[in-house]
Amino acid sequence: MYINEAHPTNIWQMQSNVKEGVLFADPTTEKDRETVANSCVRKLHIAIPALIDSINNRVEQEYTGWPDRLYLIDKAGTVRFKTDAGPFGFDAKKLAAALQNN
């Protein structure tokens, strides 16, 4: 889920983003957010499907996804697993284990 831009050029630019050419201002409209999300998916070579949070940040507020977090949600919408907040809590191996157990 693409939520708030983590390091927008007009708020908190990271040198690593400059080096990698991932330079975006904080989106202010749904269309802007969609454009930035699509660019991030392409530039960062993200191979999994990406959804986009609304400009009012509902998903981010409900799931506290900033700066990044992994969730396992079953077909009924029940959260079965979540990692700690990233970047240090972002642990794909724990998610893989949760997928095997569920």
Asked if residue 22 lies in contact with residue 44, where contact means CB atoms within 8 angstroms, the answer is yes
Question: In a 3-state reduction of DSSP, which class is residue 13?
Answer: coil
Q: What is the mean pLDDT of residues 75-93?
A: 86
Rounded to an integer, what distance in angstroms lies between the CA atom of residue 1 and that of residue 91?
16
Confidence of residue 64 (pLDDT cuts 50, 70, 90): confident
Same domain? For 42 and 77 the reply is no
Would you say residue 45 has pLDDT above 90? no
Evaluate the omega torsion of the peptide bond into residue 8 and state whether it is cis, within 30 degrees of 0.
Answer: no
Same domain? For 47 and 16 the reply is yes
Asked if residue 86 lies in contact with residue 68, where contact means CB atoms within 8 angstroms, the answer is yes
The reported pLDDT for the residue numbered 5 is 79
Same domain? For 73 and 98 the reply is yes
Same domain? For 5 and 27 the reply is yes
Structural domain boundaries, residue 1: 1-66
Same domain? For 34 and 22 the reply is yes
Q: pTM for the complete prediction?
A: 0.70
